[in-house]
Each structure stands twice: as C-alpha cells, then as structure tokens.
Structure 1
Amino acid sequence: MERVLIIEDEKQIARFIELELKYEGYDVDIAYDGRNGLDKFHHANYDLILLDIMLPGVNGMEVCRRIRKESDIPIIMVSAKDEIMDRVQGLEMGAHDYLTKPFAIEELLARIRRLLKWCDNKHNKSEESNELSAKELKLNWQTYEVLLDDSKIDLTNKEFELLKLLLENKNIVLGRDKILNEVWGYDYFGETNVVDVYIRYLRSKIDDVAEDKYIHTVRGVGYVIKE
C-alpha cells in the first residue's frame, strides 16, 4: 500500500483529501504545519507528499527545500497561489507538480497516479554508467555534479534534470512536449515557454563559457546536444 503525507493547515481540505485517498487504497498521514510535516517525514517512509505553500511555522517552499536535500520523494504542491512565478519557484525548489486550488479531486488523483508511476519507472530504469558526457561536458547523475573542462558548473534541480535528459538523448532532437513530460514528470498546464526559459539558463552557464556550443535549437522542432 502506497503511503501519502498531506501537509495542509486547512483541516477540512486535509480531511477531505485524506478520505478520498483512503477510498482509493492509499495509507495517509496528515500534518497541519510545516514543522510537524518535516517531523513526520523524518520518522516514517512515504511514497508521495502533498504540500501546501501557505503553512504556519515553516512555509511550504522551505519544507520542500529541506526535504529535497535528503530525498527525491515525489512532491505535489497544492496552493491557492497561481502566478507563474509561484509555480516556477515551487518546481525549482524540487516539487514535481503544482496544483492550484480549488481543484477537482479527480484531477489530483490522476496526477498522483501518474507521478507515482513515472517515479517508479524512473527508479527502475537501469543505468549502464553514472556519467553522461559530450565533448568536455560531463554529468554524474549519482554525485549530482556537472563539469565543463574539469571546472564545476552549479545547476539548479531542474537545470540538472534538463541537461541530463539532453545528454541521455545526445544527437536526438527533443520537442518541448517531450522535455516537459520527462523533466517535470506530468502534463504541464502552465506557461509553455518554461522549456525555453530553462534552456536559456543552461546556455548562460554552459555555452556562454565554453569554447564549443553544446545546446542547439532546431527551429520548429526542439533542442538537441550535438557531438
């Protein structure tokens, strides 16, 4: 039985989600503030976390940041804040998904099933090597390090995942929909230019300092790392 931790300060919402998840066969725990949520996370094993942003004590963004330092557990942020920068910040902190209140419970259940399946497939995927590379660019997915000409490149979580995907598909052009699905792990409902934004972030840290250009745009199709 898959176990879900709900970190939500609105007790009626938390209780409603709990009942629906239990009906679907999940084991559920609830925390009503950030500190209690972190405490439960540290003292039990969960398969997924539903995390509100506006929490007393420690807010959801900080809770997500602390959890992500220790674990790659799937996190779905649930919030009434629907601005694009709120979604970007939540995803950048390490959340896999971001759902805006109010929402249909059927949509939440669908996203939970999809995310759990995606993460399970990702974890079960066999890897031949810890390192991916293209010319002088090297990425170690186990130590979470990226080197360019033996100099370390500091990347955020999503930048790292995007670069990893491009290197895994070296010389193969990836469309935006493919990148959104693989990096964010769900059907993205926000601004479609988020891929272009993160490509620019990567280029500023890699192509702008490298002798060779690594990330190429194929107009009307997508992006590719060529070697």
Structure 2
Amino acid sequence: MNNEFKILVVDDEKNIVDVVKAYLEKDGFEVVTASDGEAALNIFNNEDIYLIVLDLMMPKITGEEVCNRIRATSSVPIIMLTAKADEDERIEGISIGADDYLTKPFSARELVVRVRALLRRAYRDVAPMADILSFSKGDLEVNIKKMVVKKQGKAVSLTTNEFKVLTILLANPGQVFSREQLVEKAFGMDYEGFDRTVDTYIKNIRHKIEDNPKEPTYITTVYGMGYKFIPS
C-alpha cells in the first residue's frame, strides 16, 4: 500500500535528505526531494504528492512561505522540521498549516512512524473514489490525490481535518453520519477532540463550498441524526 503514496522531502541539508529518503523508501514509499523552497513548489505543482516533509529554514523561499502557498490551494499533510526547539516556533508552524512537527536532530524511525500515522488519518476511506470528483456541472470539484477543492473553478483552502470530514461524506453520498461516526471514520478512536468539533468543521466547509452556507445544498443537516452529502 505504501508505494501508492509519493512523499516530497524538502531540506537544504543533503545528509538529512539522504537519510530520510532511505528510511522512507525502505518502508515502501516513493520519495522525491528538493533542496530549496522554489524547487519544492515546482514539484508539488506538477506531481501527485500525498505528504510533505518540510524544513523551515530554506533558501530562495522559506519553509513558512512554502507552507502558506500550498495551504492556499491544498490540504496535503505537512510535517515540519526545524532546528529550533522553542515553543513559539512550534506553535507558529502549526498555526500556518503544519499537521505535525519534529525538532532537529530527530529520529528517522520516528519520522517514518509519524508519516504512516498521518497518511492513515489523512486518507482514511478515500481510496475507492475517483481521483477527481465533480458536482453540479463543475461548480464543485475535489481532487482526492492532490487534496485540492475548487469552487466555481477557484481553489478554496480547507484544513487537513476539514478535508478528512469532507472526503468521508463524499465517499458515502446520501448516507447520514452522526458526529461520533464522523470522528471515528475521519480521525480514529484515539482522537482527542470533541464531537461538537465536527460542527465547526462542517460550518467551515459550508462557508467554502456552498453558495449560501445558511441554506446548504451539498452538506445538509439531518436533525437529531447528523450530516449527509447530497451529490448533484
């Protein structure tokens, strides 16, 4: 299964790239690499990347800026690397869209474990779907591989968690999911959030994909039961 996932490793320290690449390939992943932010964006825009391991301190374009640009159009999982152990630095990384964080020096084995866990959470239950789904004559388009959502031809930015919730609904059109079921399917039984957090995700998704979020046509509420996706 791992060889279905192409991972982009971005770091200007060749020894780190070589070690990370070797460990990931040993675990069965396909790996592409970049030594600066500009090259990373070029690869991401032209290849099907499922997860990014991204260093913060990068030449040409910083890791923060790379993350910001990718998050403007995609919810692809991102693990950030940094030489700084400062709490504010970690918080900043998460706030701009990173899904996980590792401080240098780090264990390559731990990184592989985190990659596997993040991929499981991000792509749970989406494999059976087509690569690109289109609704209402192209009004809404979802690229599953690239984790890109477009509304009327323009990319909208969903967080990784919002994308997970959306893909669970997309994979099961017309099926009603309770909050508890969405939490279990999207995030797993060990998720530390609350059921009501799903309401926030749904609200955010509606604001991004619905013509009128107060009268949604794609994600509807089944009162007393939960939510369902209505394809059209």
What TM bracket, shorter-length normalisation?
A: 0.5 to 0.7
CA contact (8 A) 2:21 2:31 kept: yes
Distance 1:61 1:122, change over 3 A: farther
Look up the equivalent residue of 2:201 and give its one-letter code: Y
Post-superposition CA distance 1:103-138 (Å, at most 9, x none): 5433421343455677597344359x7438xxxxx8
CA distance in 1 between counterparts of 2:69 and 2:90 reads 23
CA contact (8 A) 1:61 1:90 kept: no
Q: CA RMSD in A?
A: 5.1
Does residue 18 (structure 1) correspond to residue 33 (structure 2)? The answer is no
Deviates more, 1:62-71 or 1:103-112: 62-71
Post-superposition CA distance 1:145-166 (Å, at most 9, x none): 558xxxx998433456644534
Q: Percent identity?
A: 24
- Show the counterpart of 1:94: none
CA contact (8 A) 1:8 1:52 kept: yes
1:8-157 aligned at under 5 Å gives the runs 8-26=11-29, 28-40=31-43, 48-64=51-67, 66=69, 75-80=77-82, 81-83=89-91, 86-90=93-97, 97-101=99-103, 104-114=107-117, 119=123, 122-125=126-129, 130-131=134-135, 139-141=140-142, 144-145=149-150, 155-157=156-158
CA distance in 2 between counterparts of 1:43 and 1:155 reads 19
SS at match of 2:126: helix
Q: Following TM superposition, by how much is the alpha carbon of 1:28 offset from its aligned partner in structure 2, in angstroms?
A: 4.3
CA distance in 1 between counterparts of 2:62 and 2:118 reads 23
Structure 2 length as normaliser, TM-score?
0.56
- Show the counterpart of 1:201: 204
CA distance in 2 between counterparts of 1:188 and 1:79 reads 25
Does residue 210 (structure 1) correspond to residue 215 (structure 2)? The answer is yes
CA contact (8 A) 2:74 2:158 kept: no
Structure 1 length as normaliser, TM-score?
0.56
SS at match of 1:16: helix
SS at match of 1:108: helix
SS at match of 2:59: coil
CA distance in 1 between counterparts of 2:64 and 2:135 reads 30
CA distance in 1 between counterparts of 2:229 and 2:41 reads 42
- Show the counterpart of 2:85: none
CA distance in 1 between counterparts of 2:23 and 2:229 reads 47
CA distance in 1 between counterparts of 2:31 and 2:166 reads 35
SS at match of 1:210: coil
Aligned residue-pair number: 208
CA contact (8 A) 2:169 2:229 kept: no
Q: Following TM superposition, by how much is the alpha carbon of 1:71 offset from its aligned partner in structure 2, in angstroms?
A: 8.1
CA distance in 2 between counterparts of 1:211 and 1:36 reads 40
Look up the equivalent residue of 2:177 and give its one-letter code: V
CA contact (8 A) 2:54 2:78 kept: yes
CA distance in 2 between counterparts of 1:177 and 1:82 reads 31
5+ long unaligned stretches in structure 1: 92-96, 133-137
Pick aligned residue for 1:172 from 148, 161, 176: 176
